[in-house]
Amino acid sequence: MVKDLAYLIYGLVVLGMAACGEIRGVHPVATWLDGDVWDPEGNRPTAAGVWHK
Amino acid sequence: MAGESRGVRAFSCAQCGAPVKVRAAGVSMSAVCPSCKSVVDVNDPNHKVLSAFQGAWKKTIPLGLRGRFEGVSFELLAFLVRAPEGDGDESAFQWEEYLLFHPLKGYRWLVQAQGHWSWVTPTKRQPQLGARAATLDDRRFRLFHKGKAKVLYAEGELYWRVRAGESVDVDDYVAPPLMLSREAIGTSEVTWSRGAYMAREAVAAALNLDLAALPRPLGVAPHQPSPYGDRPRRLLRLAALLALALFVLQVGSCVRHVGGQELLSDGGVHRQGDVEPHFTPEFTLQDAGPLTIRLSVDILDNSWFEVGVVLIDVDKGTQRAFELGVESYHGIEDGEAWQEGSKAKSRILPHVPAGRYKLAVTPSSGLTGGGPTGYVVAVASGGVLWGNFWLALVALLLYPGWVWLQNRSFEGQRWAESMYGGDG
């Protein structure tokens, strides 16, 4: 029963973390899978709309 | 003591003359001479010799010892060694049976096989037999073993005329921690008994023996209770409830994020040879969160169309680049028309900070010799992501899954010894 209770507490913590992630828009798996989209190499546009190396 | 001496009788063995003591006189039918191992008919006036056992077996528990079971004191009357018949090597698997007696309760058996103990009570009730199962007291027992067992050795006194090598048909049914056994000689004499698994420690305590004197258990006994009990079922039920709560949470998140505000819808035309990016107008993302970018193409005939997209934070100058592609193919094969692909595709960026953005879109396509391709890139706030749901679900199922696997492995070991497997 102690192990069941420990698992219940663990489960509630997991639920809480999932809820926080959703509320704050934090998606670690999606971010990790999407990780390669940051900092592309090669030609880069500038904020001013100019395309340069 | 007077109570202990009541019913005790002694006589000389007709074979060797050694004294033979009978503790349950009037109930016991045969006794084994402790000296020459002859089986003597107790009720015969001349104590006729019925048969004889050879050799000697080392007992785990001495005869005559008293032990406390079912709240009363039982006395150990006899010791038997039995083995499966027809298996060739009888020394491969043998088990010990101790016959115990109490004047009011009657006979019981204490059985030791591979270091596992059972407290066996004869039952006069007939279980209901089904396909590979028997039911007694609304409890279903599954058939575990069917075979013959023969007596290899005996000592002490017994309530039947025991013979060396006598064999019975034995069917064992299990419902841990219980075992139901049917023993039959032909079809005329059938007896049923109900065995309850006893921990080695409980046996030692009941007989006031040193635990080290009892053999250590090997493997898993047919009716040994699982050390996990019903924990796997309890945990899976708990996990199911938590998973349901998680699903409700995810649905709530979906409702919150679906139908986010459209921030941009910008079209462009791509011509073969174009390599310059197209910059969209700026748009503002009010709150940090997911961002959905959708690419759609009006006409796409057996080809592909792709855009390299760079999301540019206008104020900070940071960038995020990715690709979005669509493809659409169709044809006729064996008279059947087929089509695959889609003319629209979305991508969700999981976490984009609030701010002002614009896109740099660089199209490329597989069209050859065709005209310009019109496309639309739309941006909307929000987007449903399931990553957190699946991550949390895996986290929730890890421990119950591990316990379930451990229990399954235990049951696998149990049923590996059965000729009927674990598929019932």
Rounded distance between C-alpha atoms, residue B375 and residue B298, angstroms: 7
pLDDT digits (tens, 9 = 90+) for A29-48: 777 766 555 454 445 555 55
pLDDT for B25 equals: 82
In total, the C-beta contacts within 8 angstroms joining chain A to chain B are 107
Q: Which residues in chain B are contacts of A30 at CB distance < 8 A?
A: 348, 350-351, 385, 387
Rounded distance between C-alpha atoms, residue B368 and residue B388, angstroms: 42
pLDDT for B365 equals: 83
pLDDT for A53 equals: 42
Nearest CB neighbour to A25, from listed B252, B290, B391: B290
List chain B pLDDT tens, one digit each, 424 residues. 333 445 678 899 988 989 998 988 888 999 999 999 999 999 888 889 999 998 888 889 999 999 999 999 999 999 999 998 876 666 678 899 999 999 999 999 999 999 999 999 999 888 999 888 999 989 999 999 999 999 999 999 999 999 888 889 999 999 999 999 999 987 778 999 999 999 999 999 999 999 999 999 999 999 999 999 889 999 999 999 999 999 999 998 888 777 678 999 998 888 877 778 889 999 999 988 888 999 999 888 888 899 989 888 888 878 888 889 998 888 888 888 898 888 899 988 888 889 999 999 988 887 666 667 889 999 998 888 888 899 999 999 999 999 999 999 999 999 998 888 755 4
Give B227: exposed, middle or buried? Use CB within 10 Å, 0-12, 13-18, 19+: exposed
Count CA within 13 A, CB hemisphere, residue B57: 25
Angstrom distances, CA of residue B321 to CA of A26, B233, B256: 19, 48, 26
Which residue numbers of A have CB closer than 8 Å to B's CBs? 3-4, 7-8, 10-12, 14-15, 17-19, 21-22, 25-31, 33-34, 37-40, 44-47, 49, 51
User: Which letter does DSSP use for residue B274 in this model?
Assistant: -
**Both tokens assigned to A41:** 């190499």
Rounded distance between C-alpha atoms, residue B332 and residue B412, angstroms: 52
Nearest CB neighbour to B395, from listed A4, A14, A49: A14
Q: What pTM did the predictor assign?
A: 0.73
pLDDT for B206 equals: 96
Q: Which residues in chain B are contacts of A39 at CB distance < 8 A?
A: 319, 321
pLDDT for B353 equals: 86
Angstrom distances, CA of residue B257 to CA of A26, B70, B247, B289: 13, 66, 15, 9
Residues recorded for chain A: 53
Q: Which residues in chain B are contacts of A9 at CB distance < 8 A?
A: none
pLDDT for B7 equals: 66
> In Å, how far is A43's CA from the nearest CA of chain B?
10
Question: Per the CB < 8 Å rule, is B310 touching A44?
Answer: yes
Instruction: Tell me the pairing of strands B189-198 and B116-123.
Output: antiparallel
What ipTM is given for this predicted complex?
0.75
Kindly report whether the peptide bond that precedes residue B281 is cis, defined as omega within 30 degrees of 0. Answer: no
Residues 6+ apart with CB under 8 A from B394: none
pLDDT for B253 equals: 83
User: Which regions of B246-343 does DSSP assign to beta strands (E)?
Assistant: 262-270, 278-279, 283-285, 289-297, 303-313, 319-333, 336-342
